[in-house]
Structure 1
Amino acid sequence: MDQFGKTAGVVARIRGMVHDGTLRSGDALPSTRALAAELGVARGTVVAAYEQLDGEGYIRTRHGAAARVAASVDGPVPVGAAAGVPVVPGVSAASAAAGASAASGASAASAASATDTPTVSADAPRAAVIDCRPGIPAVTAISDRDWRAAWRAAADLPLRNALSDPLGLPPLREQVAAQLGLSRGFAPDPRRVVVAAGTSEALSLVTEALRVSLGRAPRIAVEDPGYRTGHRAVVSAGGEVVGVPLDEDGLDLDVLRAGSRFDAVMVTPTHQYPLGSVMPVARRQALLDWADATGTLVIEDDYDSEFRHRGQPVPALAALDPGVLHVGGFSKSFDPRLRCAYVVLPAGRPDVALAVTAARVARGAVVAEPVQAAVAHLLRTGAFRRHLGRVRRDYTHRRALIVARLTSAAGSVPGLEARALTGGLHTVVSWSGPLRGAAVVDRLASRGVLVADLAEYEVTAGSAGEGVVLGYGAVSLPALERALDALVEVLGAG
Structure 2
Amino acid sequence: MDQDVVHFAGGPVDQSVGKVAHVVARVRALVDSGVLRDGDRVPSTRAMAAELGVARGTVVAAYDQLDGEGYIRTRQGAAAVVVGGGGAGTVPSAEGSRATGGGGRATPVGGPATGRGGRATLAGDRASGDGSTTAPPAIRRVPHPGTAVLDARPGIPAVTAISQRDWRAAWRAAADAPLRNGLSDPLGLPELRTQIAAQLGLTRGFSPDPERVVVTAGTSDAISVVTEGLRTLLGRSPRVAVEDPGYPTGRRAVTSAGGTVLGVPVGADGLDLDALAALPPVDAVMVTPTHQYPLGSVMPVARRRSLLDWATRTGTLVLEDDYDSEFRHRGSPVPALAALDRAGSVLHLGGFSKTFDPRLRCSWIVLPAAEDDRSAAVLAARRARGPVVAEPVQVAVAHLLRSGALRRHLGRVRRDAAHRREQVLARVGASGDAGLEARALDGGLHAVVTWPGPATGHAVVDRMAALGVLVAALDDYGVRPGSLPTGVVLGYGALTSIELDRVLGLLVSAIAAG
Matched with 2:175 is 155
Cα drift, residue 14 of structure 1: 2.2
- The one-letter code matched in structure 2 to 1:70 is V
What do residues 242-266 of structure 1 show as CA deviations (whole Å, max 9, x unaligned)?
1111121111111111111101000
Cα drift, residue 73 of structure 1: 3.8
Secondary structure of 2:81 counterpart: strand
Q: Is the CA contact (8 Å cut-off) linking 2:35 and 2:86 kept in structure 1? A: no
Q: Does 1:165 align with 2:176?
A: no
Secondary structure of 1:370 counterpart: helix
Cα drift, residue 150 of structure 1: 1.2
Secondary structure of 2:18 counterpart: helix
Matched with 1:236 is 256
Q: Does 1:327 align with 2:384?
A: no
Secondary structure of 1:325 counterpart: strand
Q: Is the CA contact (8 Å cut-off) linking 2:84 and 2:498 kept in structure 1? A: no
Cα drift, residue 283 of structure 1: 1.2
State the distance in 2 between where 1:36 and 1:171 align.
46
Q: Is the CA contact (8 Å cut-off) linking 1:345 and 1:352 kept in structure 2? A: no
**Match 2:323 to one of 289, 292, 303:** 303
Q: Is the CA contact (8 Å cut-off) linking 1:62 and 1:144 kept in structure 2? A: no
State the distance in 2 between where 1:34 and 1:154 align.
40
Secondary structure of 1:462 counterpart: coil
Secondary structure of 2:262 counterpart: strand
State the distance in 2 between where 1:300 and 1:4 align.
48
Cα drift, residue 34 of structure 1: 2.6
> Which has the larger Rg?
2
Q: Is the CA contact (8 Å cut-off) linking 2:464 and 2:470 kept in structure 1? A: yes
- The one-letter code matched in structure 2 to 1:281 is V
Matched with 1:247 is 267
- The one-letter code matched in structure 1 to 2:420 is R
What do residues 190-219 of structure 1 show as CA deviations (whole Å, max 9, x unaligned)?
000000000010111111111111111100
**Match 2:234 to one of 214, 238, 251:** 214
Matched with 1:353 is 375
Distance 1:259 1:75, change over 3 A: closer
State the distance in 2 between where 1:480 and 1:73 align.
15
Matched with 2:481 is 461
Q: Does 1:27 align with 2:47?
A: no
Distance 1:167 1:3, change over 3 A: farther
State the distance in 2 between where 1:373 and 1:4 align.
51
- Relative to total residues, which structure has the larger helix share, 1 or 2? 1
Q: Does 1:259 align with 2:272?
A: no
Distance 1:144 1:254, change over 3 A: same
What do residues 9-44 of structure 1 show as CA deviations (whole Å, max 9, x unaligned)?
322232222223222111222222232233333222
Which range moved further: 223-232 or 240-249? 240-249
Which range moved further: 287-296 or 426-435? 426-435
- The one-letter code matched in structure 1 to 2:29 is G
What do residues 389-431 of structure 1 show as CA deviations (whole Å, max 9, x unaligned)?
111110111110111111122xx42321111001000111111
Q: Does 1:339 align with 2:352?
A: no
Distance 1:265 1:15, change over 3 A: same
Cα drift, residue 302 of structure 1: 0.2
Cα drift, residue 455 of structure 1: 0.7
Task: Describe how 1:434-473 pairs up with structure 2 within 5 A.
Answer: 434-473=454-493
**Match 1:39 to one of 52, 58, 80:** 52
- The one-letter code matched in structure 1 to 2:73 is R
Distance 1:75 1:237, change over 3 A: closer
Matched with 1:196 is 216
Secondary structure of 1:48 counterpart: helix
Q: Does 1:425 align with 2:445?
A: yes
State the distance in 1 between where 2:32 and 2:366 align.
48
What do residues 39-73 of structure 1 show as CA deviations (whole Å, max 9, x unaligned)?
33322222222211111111111222221111124
Which range moved further: 335-344 or 371-380? 371-380
Matched with 1:5 is 18
State the distance in 2 between where 1:62 and 1:295 align.
51
**Percent of residue pairs bearing the same amino acid type:** 70
Cα drift, residue 275 of structure 1: 0.6
**Match 1:145 to one of 165, 168, 182:** 165
Task: Describe how 1:397-408 pairs up with structure 2 within 5 A.
Answer: 397-408=419-430
- The one-letter code matched in structure 1 to 2:27 is I
Task: Describe how 1:56-71 pairs up with structure 2 within 5 A.
Answer: 56-71=69-84
Matched with 1:15 is 28
Which range moved further: 1-10 or 333-342? 1-10
Which range moved further: 269-278 or 238-247? 238-247
Cα drift, residue 124 of structure 1: 8.5
State the distance in 1 between where 2:374 and 2:76 align.
46
Of structures 1 and 2, the one scoring higher in RCO (CA 8 A, sep 6+) is: 1
Matched with 2:152 is 132
State the distance in 1 between where 2:16 and 2:393 align.
45
Secondary structure of 1:230 counterpart: helix
Cα drift, residue 447 of structure 1: 2.5
Matched with 2:387 is 365
State the distance in 2 between where 1:396 and 1:184 align.
20
What do residues 105-145 of structure 1 show as CA deviations (whole Å, max 9, x unaligned)?
xxxxxxxxxxxxxxxxxx99355422211010111111111
Matched with 1:385 is 407
Long gaps (5+) in structure 1? 77-122
Distance 1:4 1:204, change over 3 A: farther
TM-score scaled by length of structure 1: 0.87
State the distance in 2 between where 1:348 and 1:153 align.
35
